[in-house]
Amino acid sequence: MGLEAERSGETRYLVFELGMTGLLFFTLLDPSYRKHTHLTLSLTGSVPALYYWNPRRFGRVYLLDGPGLARFAKRRFGCDPLTVSWEDFRGVVARRRGRLKALLMHQQVIAGIGNIYANEILYRARLHPYRVASRLHAQTVRRLYDAIRDVLSEAIKAGGSSVRDFLAPDGTKGDYWKQHRVYNKAGLPCPAGCGSTIRRLAGERSSFYCPSCQRK
Ligand SMILES: [Zn+2]
């Protein structure tokens, strides 16, 4: 890979798909991680190596040139929820007739939001997971837009949510799970103090919501 990149003189990009539970590490944390480390890259510079850990083997690694990377991103990812403008986001939501929860998790429409954050965002925006996207009023869509940015910014600041396997490349855990309000909290009182208990909707991926704060 390195040889080819040098010969052509072009910049190449390594793209890692983590496939649900995959991780990248700068250090091999302990010998138990050796088993599912499917690729080790020796690097020059301050980081001596990069380890690609992929226990479920759902991941992929691509080596792409500039145009290839642009095509890949266009095909696979929708708008970036932290940089999309309000006008563009409003347009995206207005065109979707499906349920809000599915929209938030549809990577080709809005990239990067998984089940944990979709639940937390909808609770923050006080929107039921089954509300229909295209039927929302502009001010409700604005609430969703703000909630996405608030929840994701807070989560990034806290280093993500180490619920099961997730760790940062240096092996540290993300603390955002301590701030989860609804995810995995079925049966507990709503943190807004409305008097209701958090419910769980069994679907493709479980949804957690407050029946009083997030009316259908
Ligand atoms: Zn509530």
What's the 80 CA to ligand 1 centre distance in angstroms?
29
Q: Which two tokens stand for residue 146?
A: 């703000």
Given its phi and psi angles, is residue 210 left (phi above 0), alpha (psi -120 to 50 degrees) or beta? beta
Listed residue (167, 137, 178) closest to 25, CA to CA? 167
CATH number of 86-209: 1.10.8.50
In the predicted structure, residue 105 carries a pLDDT above the cut 60: yes
What's the 129 CA to ligand 1 centre distance in angstroms?
14
Q: What pLDDT does residue 3 have?
A: 42
What's the 46 CA to ligand 1 centre distance in angstroms?
48
**What residues does each domain of the chain span?**
2-76, 86-209
Could you tell me which residue, 31 or 98, shows the higher pLDDT? 98
Q: How far is CA 209 from the centre of its chain?
A: 19
Q: In which band, very low, low, confident or very high, does the pLDDT at 181 lie, cut at 50, 70 and 90? A: very high
What's the 198 CA to ligand 1 centre distance in angstroms?
7
What's the 14 CA to ligand 1 centre distance in angstroms?
44
Measured distance CA(30)–CA(10) in Å, rounded: 36
Instruction: Read off the pLDDT of residues 127-151 as tens digits, 9 standing for 90 and up.
Output: 999 999 999 999 999 999 999 999 9
For the entire predicted model, the pTM comes to 0.84
In the predicted structure, residue 174 carries a pLDDT above the cut 50: yes
What's the 213 CA to ligand 1 centre distance in angstroms?
4
Measured distance CA(97)–CA(103) in Å, rounded: 9
What's the 34 CA to ligand 1 centre distance in angstroms?
44
- Which residues, including other chains, have CB under 8 Å from residue 55's CB and lie 6 or more apart? 21, 22, 35, 36, 165
Q: What pLDDT does residue 1 have?
A: 37
Q: How far is CA 190 from the centre of its chain?
A: 24
What's the 95 CA to ligand 1 centre distance in angstroms?
29
In the predicted structure, residue 173 carries a pLDDT above the cut 80: yes
What's the 192 CA to ligand 1 centre distance in angstroms?
5
Residues in the chain: 216
Q: What pLDDT does residue 166 have?
A: 80
